[in-house]
Chains A and B, each alone.
Chain A
């Protein structure tokens, strides 16, 4: 293997690694705040990419009725809870936020000339009908069992994953989708031809990671999330709502997932079930970071991308085996070095 080939493979690995890094950060965030091992994270990649493909082709976002339906369900559940608590004053806001807003959005989108809109506007519309699924799923599937064990939350996550894959097939069909790149063409850097989209991916991923770091360090919501991650009970005693923290981190993870999908859909075809494997590789990255450290998770995810790229050159038939085998020494190392902390100490 000469330097040119090594460089090409590295470029390929870093591109995919950047996506895995974004997902691994979202996974760490969700796990730290809610203790949910968020298997459906990858589904948002597919939903984001395929919704964008639909909007770009001038079709209505396929998931819009799902957003409306789940919105109505959330409105009902929240209203019942509010009435039980005797807080009827909250009802109008609950109904407007969860039920009226999605319906209005659907009506607006129906009359927009989707195909002729500017690319960034199309991205916003696609995200607008995928990202709300994150908090909606949290409210309906996870919030009622928020205090349950990690294992139970994992099982709920697996169930949500299967439901989302199945609905993905229904919404988007079995044939995949692809979208035009943010900027056509590319540039020759030394021996390698680099597509502009690749630069977009790595650049935006870096920006998003920096943005998340700023958010956690400096914003009040970010600090609330961190506080919840460090100590749920303590945070609650300080007046931080665990439900709000959960919804917020699910929104963030849905946004990161869906946007990752839109980033890679121009360089590869995304299918309704592509997300799962991408999410799993992000998960391997997150495991390397012990599901706790953001920088380690991101570094681990890039390592996964590189390993994948080089093993696809040397032993393509065993690529996945090599990537996922990476977990074993990492887990072994972690279980030997870390002191076991009981997750269930909250109870």
Chain B
């Protein structure tokens, strides 16, 4: 009994000590989908977070990296832990749209700036605290629509994930379709773990669209592409920026030959013209990442964490002038500083933030890439 009684105050004292010690440093909370269906995204994001510096601008930086397991509930739990227990000054979270939305709610509630790692429809108070380094779908969709117009393609068939990624792409294409004289349809959906898409593909083939877009990520994007080719589809097949990865080529083989992907500039940084601002930082990041995790491991998604840090590292010195880390004032100052950032060069284009645009991208954040002879070749910008 005696021992029990004496441990409790000791534990409290220790935790208080821990809390005060942590207050002097900058705490950054990271919550990514390192496991679960979005592990292809979350894995490289976690790996990138582990590469980031542990001291900066004379302050110690504590990285608290958690796994949200592709689950919005787990993401919400992580957020409350990071905000309440770790008292983080900055959040980098949300590998997929649903977890990013969970993070955005927590960010707005606790008034903590957030870098969301997936495009998201945050608005109002949520938008105020949420910045999104990955490209907005509308920006990416426009690139494909432009290419369609230039090649006189008027109808676009759609086969995409039956989740928010697919849904947001439909919205993005519909928003820009009229401007480029493109009609969308039929729209078919599939699941990442489906073993067959024959039914959907037959329906698409019957409608004979000029082009078909596959909206999926990584290796699963290869299945509809392959099935379309095997069933004799002759039109242009497009893929989204979620698809670009070595796995697509490995799984798709000759069946994805000729496919056109919209992509951030990072993945093909070595093919960018020297004038492209992202070539240099992209190369630096790629070398650092592949140096630690092995050649051929580079992924587009890890780059968003890198860009989040680039944006944060520009804002932290300004915020430090106004307040001490660990305080609400510091978090507010950090948010204001990020919102005011102009011409910050990242591995995915150049960021120009404003109160209404928390993505900050322009056309430099996207490229069109074609699969030629089993490799990705830059075809525009």
| Chain A residues at the B interface, C-beta cutoff of 8 Å | 5, 8-9, 12, 15-16, 19, 166, 169, 174-176, 178, 264, 267-269, 271, 273-274, 276-278, 309-314, 316-317, 319-320
Chain B residue numbers with a CB within 8 Å of A9 are 198-199, 202
* Residues B217-231 near A (CB distance < 8 A): 218-220, 222-223
A273 touches B193 (CB 8 A): yes
Would you give the shortest CB distance from A325 to chain B, in whole angstroms? 15
Q: How far apart sit A83 and B381, CA to CA, in the bound complex (Å)?
A: 73
B198 touches A269 (CB 8 A): no
Asked if B35 CB lies within 8 Å of chain A CBs, one says yes
Chain B residue numbers with a CB within 8 Å of A166 are 35
Contact of B39 among A174, A264, A319, A320 (CB under 8 A): A174
Q: How far apart sit A277 and B162, CA to CA, in the bound complex (Å)?
A: 15
Specify the chain B residue showing the minimal Cβ separation from A46: B193
Q: How far apart sit A221 and B376, CA to CA, in the bound complex (Å)?
A: 56
Chain B residue numbers with a CB within 8 Å of A316 are 159, 162, 188-190, 199-200, 203
A309 touches B193 (CB 8 A): no
Specify the chain B residue showing the minimal Cβ separation from A19: B195
Would you give the shortest CB distance from B95 to chain A, in whole angstroms? 12
Specify the chain B residue showing the minimal Cβ separation from A9: B199
Q: How far apart sit A309 and B159, CA to CA, in the bound complex (Å)?
A: 16
Would you give the shortest CB distance from B163 to chain A, in whole angstroms? 10
Specify the chain A residue showing the minimal Cβ separation from B232: A193
Asked if B37 CB lies within 8 Å of chain A CBs, one says yes
Chain A residue numbers with a CB within 8 Å of B223 are 268-269
Q: A8-B198, A269-B223, A274-B195 are in contact. Are A175 and B35 (CB under 8 A)?
A: no
Q: How far apart sit A313 and B251, CA to CA, in the bound complex (Å)?
A: 24
Would you give the shortest CB distance from A158 to chain B, in whole angstroms? 16
Asked if B196 CB lies within 8 Å of chain A CBs, one says yes
A264 touches B198 (CB 8 A): no
Would you give the shortest CB distance from A309 to chain B, in whole angstroms? 5
A16 touches B203 (CB 8 A): no
A277 touches B191 (CB 8 A): yes
Asked if B22 CB lies within 8 Å of chain A CBs, one says no
Chain A residue numbers with a CB within 8 Å of B218 are 174-175
Chain A residue numbers with a CB within 8 Å of B39 are 169, 174
Would you give the shortest CB distance from A205 to chain B, in whole angstroms? 14
Chain B residue numbers with a CB within 8 Å of A268 are 194-196, 223
A12 touches B199 (CB 8 A): yes
Chain B residue numbers with a CB within 8 Å of A175 are 40, 218-219, 245, 247, 250-251
Secondary structure call for the A interface: helix
Specify the chain B residue showing the minimal Cβ separation from A320: B191
Chain B residue numbers with a CB within 8 Å of A310 are 199
Contact of B220 among A269, A309, A313, A317 (CB under 8 A): A269
Specify the chain B residue showing the minimal Cβ separation from A317: B189
Q: A8-B202, A166-B35 are in contact. Are A16 and B196 (CB under 8 A)?
A: yes
B219 touches A176 (CB 8 A): yes
A309 touches B35 (CB 8 A): no
A311 touches B219 (CB 8 A): no
Q: How far apart sit A189 and B192, CA to CA, in the bound complex (Å)?
A: 30
Would you give the shortest CB distance from B37 to chain A, in whole angstroms? 7
Chain A residue numbers with a CB within 8 Å of B159 are 316
Interface string of B26-39 (1 = CB under 8 A from A): 00000000011101
Specify the chain B residue showing the minimal Cβ separation from A166: B35
Chain B residue numbers with a CB within 8 Å of A271 are 192-193, 219-220
Chain B residue numbers with a CB within 8 Å of A15 are 196
Asked if B206 CB lies within 8 Å of chain A CBs, one says yes
Specify the chain A residue showing the minimal Cβ separation from B198: A12
Chain A residue numbers with a CB within 8 Å of B247 are 175-176
Interface string of B141-183 (1 = CB under 8 A from A): 0000000000000000001001000000000000000000000
Specify the chain B residue showing the minimal Cβ separation from A268: B195
Most interface-central of B202, B219, B247 (chain A CB within 10 A): B202
Most interface-central of A178, A269, A313 (chain B CB within 10 A): A269
Q: How far apart sit A271 and B195, CA to CA, in the bound complex (Å)?
A: 10
Specify the chain A residue showing the minimal Cβ separation from B44: A174
Contact of A312 among B36, B190, B251 (CB under 8 A): B190
Would you give the shortest CB distance from B204 to chain A, in whole angstroms? 10
Chain B residue numbers with a CB within 8 Å of A311 are 199
24 residue pairs bridging A and B, Cβ less than 8 Å apart: A9-B199, A16-B195, A16-B196, A166-B35, A174-B40, A175-B247, A176-B220, A178-B251, A268-B223, A269-B222, A269-B223, A273-B36, A274-B193, A276-B193, A309-B196, A309-B198, A309-B199, A312-B198, A312-B199, A316-B189, A316-B190, A317-B189, A319-B162, A319-B190
A176 touches B251 (CB 8 A): yes
Asked if B43 CB lies within 8 Å of chain A CBs, one says yes
Chain B residue numbers with a CB within 8 Å of A309 are 196, 198-199
A277 touches B193 (CB 8 A): yes
Asked if B332 CB lies within 8 Å of chain A CBs, one says no
Chain B residue numbers with a CB within 8 Å of A314 are 199
